[in-house]
Chain A
Amino acid sequence: MEATIATNTNDNNWGGGNQKPLGASYGKMMMWFFILSDALTFSGFLGAYGLMRFKFIDSWPIADEVFTHFPFLHDVHAPMYYVALMTFILIFSSVTMVLAVDAGHQMNKAKVTFYMFLTIIGGAIFLGSQAWEWKNFIHGSYGAIKLNDGKIIQFVDAEGHQVTLESFAKEIPSERTQHIKSKGVWFVEEAALPAITVNEVIEGFKEHPELTIRTEQLNTELKKKTIIPRDKAMDYLNESNKVVMGANLKENEYGKTLFADFFFFITGFHGFHVLSGVVINIIIFFNVIIGTYERRGHYEMVEKVGLYWHFVDLVWVFVFTFFYLV
């Protein structure tokens, strides 16, 4: 049997010649195609979020009422400012990244090192900011009551502003303590008791005539949550199931649990991309310092991680729009 040997007899683009039909090196082209596939993954997640949002278009939480915290400003209603700051941090770290790529084109090792360093710092600050945002979301701001059918009831004052459960709940002394393994049956234990019980909230509500409740339902004309008149409020509160503080994957004091699920999943997946981007940037940063690319004669590797880093910024632009603006 004769062996077939591939030989470079044809130097055409598609004939195995050495020319690159897409005009990019293998690594850079593959980074682009990876980014394409990752973009489609994020689109799938954001698309699923859109599907659920349109499904519950008349009862979705209003983002301005959920993300209202700003560092060192307590009890100040500051929607959007913090996430705008996070966006600027990420855009700025994109700028320093592209400046590093630019310096790489001029073979300026000192400048590449400096800008890569700034990029890593920017990424780390962004990750810290996101952790703080998660912390606020998990701890919650006002607290709410969950009804037997899973709907969320929030408390508002006469002006329609939300009030915290602590501000009006009546303290009712109780003998009830948390059941832990060391007390009673050794193989039975329960989760920590809530600081405020349903009963305390309802009794407190009865003693504060200025309060009333609101449901998750949106008034489609005014795009505000529906406030229930006080004389009807007890019909709702008689259905109370438990007190909800903050948000997690099972319940969410701001409304739909799905909102919390998507928020944790999508910002978490994006945050994981930022984390891996920072790690890759650190590796390349040290390669720059020890002169790997100086010896190689070009800084294309910086360009490739730069592409990934800009992509992370690009995704954040969309996450910002769909979770906070729209």
Chain B
Amino acid sequence: MAHAQEHTSHTKLIWKVFGILSLITIVEVILGIIKPDSLHLTHILGTSILNIIFLLLTLLKAYYITWFFMHMADEKKNLRRAVVWTAFFLIAYLSTLLLLEGSYIHDVLGPLTKWNY
């Protein structure tokens, strides 16, 4: 990366990544509008299969943006791990605890909510 003049153009790759990101977004939007019952009305890991699909597609988009738009693929392994691993493990840890805690609060408080008058 040191000598700018040595760079060849990556325009082709950029448009390819744009195509992939658009495709993923279109799939997400179609699934979000249709919400097929076979995926939506399911229970797995505290949520539905549809939500797990959304989450995985989002992580895939995040990967393409970070690796190819932010050129993380060209960085040294040390820098890549310092940023990506730190974020990944801390966020996974925090969100696991928060979501478990949220379900617990719901289990305790939910039955106390009055819905009939």
Q: Which residues of A contact B83 (CB under 8 A)?
A: 32-33, 35-36
Q: Are B32 and A54 in contact (CB under 8 A)?
A: no
Q: A285 on the interface (CB 8 Å rule)?
A: no
The main secondary structure of chain B at its interface with chain A is helix
Q: A231 on the interface (CB 8 Å rule)?
A: no
Q: B73 on the interface (CB 8 Å rule)?
A: no
Q: Are B65 and A310 in contact (CB under 8 A)?
A: yes
Q: Are A307 and B87 in contact (CB under 8 A)?
A: no
Give residues of chain B (1-47) contacting chain A, Cβ–Cβ below 8 Å. Answer: 1, 4-5, 7, 9-11, 14-15, 18, 21-22, 25-26, 28-29, 31-33, 35, 40-41, 46-47
A245 to nearest B CB, angstroms?
23
Binding site for A on B (CB under 8 A): 1, 4-5, 7, 9-11, 14-15, 18, 21-22, 25-26, 28-29, 31-33, 35, 40-41, 46-47, 51, 54-55, 58, 61-62, 65-66, 68-71, 75-76, 78-79, 82-83, 86-87, 90-91, 94-95, 98-99, 101-103, 105-106, 109-110, 113-117
What are 27 A-B contacts defined by CB distance under 8 Å?
A23-B1, A23-B78, A24-B75, A32-B83, A35-B83, A36-B87, A39-B91, A40-B90, A46-B95, A47-B91, A47-B95, A48-B98, A51-B102, A54-B99, A64-B32, A64-B33, A88-B22, A95-B15, A107-B4, A226-B115, A236-B117, A239-B117, A314-B62, A314-B65, A317-B58, A317-B62, A326-B51
